[in-house]
Amino acid sequence: MAKLPPELKENVEKRLQRLEGQVRGVRRMLAEDRDCPDVLTQLSAIRGAAYQISLLLIENYALECVHNPEEFGSVDEAIARLVSTLGKLN
């Protein structure tokens, strides 16, 4: 995969920093013996944030596959790689 465009890389970095903060928050919640529903709500927010980051990256990768299939050997190989990558988003 080609390098990420600078603006996308910056966006992803900022999101990952927020995600790290959320994870630290969950650790703090556990140390404070917070109620399970509160912890699960935070974990759900973390999962959602990670999924949104994944969508940004897969969008960039899909555009790369569509616009530059020759980088993958052929159009068929670009499609196969894209489909395989999409399969990792569960």
At 57-84, the pLDDT tens digits run: 999 999 998 898 888 899 999 999 999 9
Lookup: tokens for 52: 């949104």
Do residues 21 and 42 touch, judged by C-beta distance below 8 A? no
Structural domains of the chain, ranges and CATH numbers in brackets: 10-86 (1.20.58.1000)
Predicted TM-score (pTM) of the model is 0.84
d(CA 31, CA 34): 8
Task: Give the chain's end-to-end CA distance (angstroms, integer).
Answer: 20
d(CA 4, CA 58): 11
Q: Could you tell me the pLDDT band of residue 2, with boundaries at 50, 70 and 90? A: low
